Amino acid sequence: MLTVVHTGILVSSLVFMLFPVRINSIFRSSCEMVSKSTNEKLKQGIAVRFHGEEGMGQGVVREWFDILSNEIINPDYALFTQSADGTTFQPNSNSSVNPDHLNYFRFAGQILGLALYHRQLVNIYFTRSFYKHILGIPVNYQDVSSIDPEYAKNLQWILDNDISDLGLELTFSVETDVFGAMEEVPLKPGGTSILVTQDNKAEYVQLVTELRMTRAIQPQINAFLQGFHTFIPPSLIQLFDEYELELLLSGMPEIDVQDWCRNTEYTSGYDAQEPVIQWFWEVVKSLTQEERILLLQFVTGSSRVPHGGFAYLMGGSGLQKFTVAAVPYTPNLLPTSSTCINMLKLPEYPSQDVLRDRLLVALHCGSYGYTMA
């Protein structure tokens, strides 16, 4: 059990409210606590004490925010669903299976707003489209790839090709899964009888995007923003773009090198005992956090580790572990990668120093040697 105490700015020992929260119901109890507090007192400061422990201070506050951010994405509450690659989260369009879902979305917005207000980081990363919703930035068809990569490719194909004589017979409507039943939803008034043509296909793609990424979760977005704006006004947050907002809320992703090494496979002549592989992991351990993120992005196309660790890394056709493949060495040869299968093609360098130098050149100088598998 923990106790949450509000402290004034001038008299830090002044207890505004003492509220017991059991650790096994921290989400609901904290939601109730926040709803009973005034915004002014929540802005003044938050002190947290775990029941049975003497410790207080910023470390305990950080732990409270960390636990709550993990609870926000707890599938038991049905508030958020994982993105296609398992690294980010998006509001669940079917969250109404939880009768309290909108109250909980409002609470989730309050927690993230409070965290940002008090300069605390949360342990959760959202899809680019959801950050855009927080900022009031329109989504585009490329944002669809976070929840349905194949559908995004289809939209891209429509935009890139002349559809005049293909007989697609598309209309301004789509079939949507609502609790297991397919329903036809018009994209605009009379959409079921309006054909998609070469002239209006861009409008169709944008409306499909808005349906999938915005209209389907509009009540959830509105409830979240109602809570978030309690502490962070729109005029302030709109100074940032979606990338900056992610860093403000969640900071730089932490990468567990031991977990990374444990969940890596080797091919084309490499194994875990090869000197080049031993050198590689020594270099990875010596990299800065930013450089590790660059390496992860270089090989997988994503800067984040999936929820649950490297064992859940996704490739183009499902789970696909990080893989290092041997490549014959020639002087000045740089590493390359196949992002669709999370493969680093690492030359058989003659020393650890050469390996480090060539790897850093690839990461820092924009030599993104992506290849098709």
Q: Which residues pair with 183 in a beta bridge?
A: 176
| pLDDT for the residue numbered 254 | 80
Other Cβ atoms less than 10 A from the Cβ of 231: the count is 20
| pLDDT for the residue numbered 1 | 42
* Residue 365 annotated among the catalytic residues of the structure: no
Q: Distance between CA atoms of 227 and 58, rounded to whole angstroms? A: 23
Give the CA count within 13 Å in the CB-facing half-sphere of 138: 6
Question: 75 in a domain, yes or no?
Answer: yes
Per DSSP, the three-state class of 47 is strand
Q: What are phi and psi of 65, to 5 degrees?
A: -65, -35
Q: Distance between CA atoms of 94 and 144, rounded to whole angstroms? A: 17
Instruction: Verify that 22 and 35 share a domain, yes or no.
Output: yes
Instruction: Verify that 117 and 84 share a domain, yes or no.
Output: yes
57-87 pLDDT, tens digit per residue, is 566 677 788 888 889 999 999 999 998 878 8
| pLDDT for the residue numbered 372 | 34
Q: Which residues pair with 2 in a beta bridge?
A: 21, 50
Q: Residues in the chain, how many?
A: 373
Mean predicted lDDT score pLDDT of the chain = 84
Q: What is the CATH number of the domain that holds 182?
A: 3.30.2160.10
Segments forming the whole domain that contains residue 97: 17-136+217-250
Which one, of 309, 286, 304, 282, lies nearest residue 294 by Cα? 304
Q: Considering only residues 152 and 18, tell me which one the structure prediction assigns the higher pLDDT.
A: 152
138-149 pLDDT, tens digit per residue, is 998 888 888 888
Q: Distance between CA atoms of 372 and 370, rounded to whole angstroms? A: 7
Residue pair 327/346 in contact (Cβ under 8 Å)? The answer is: yes
Which one, of 277, 266, 282, lies nearest residue 323 by Cα? 266
Structure tokens at 82: 């994982």
Instruction: Verify that 207 and 109 share a domain, yes or no.
Output: no
Q: What are phi and psi of 123, to 5 degrees?
A: -95, 60
Strands 336-338 and 343-347: antiparallel
In order, the DSSP letters of 313-327 are -EETTEE--EEEEEE
| pLDDT for the residue numbered 223 | 97
Give the CA count within 13 Å in the CB-facing half-sphere of 262: 9
Of 14-18, 26-30, 121-125, where does mean pLDDT reach its minimum? 14-18
Which of the four pLDDT bands, split at 50, 70 and 90, describes residue 204? very high
Number of domains in the chain: 3
Element (H, E) at 59: helix 58-72
Instruction: Verify that 108 and 58 share a domain, yes or no.
Output: yes
Instruction: Verify that 272 and 358 share a domain, yes or no.
Output: yes
Per DSSP, the three-state class of 164 is coil
Instruction: Verify that 228 and 338 share a domain, yes or no.
Output: no
Question: 372 in a domain, yes or no?
Answer: no
Of 155-164, 186-195, 311-320, 364-373, where does mean pLDDT reach its minimum? 364-373
Q: One of 31, 261, 340, 365 is an active-site residue; which one?
A: 340
Which of the four pLDDT bands, split at 50, 70 and 90, describes residue 316? low
pTM of structure: 0.70
Question: 166 in a domain, yes or no?
Answer: yes
Instruction: Verify that 106 and 237 share a domain, yes or no.
Output: yes
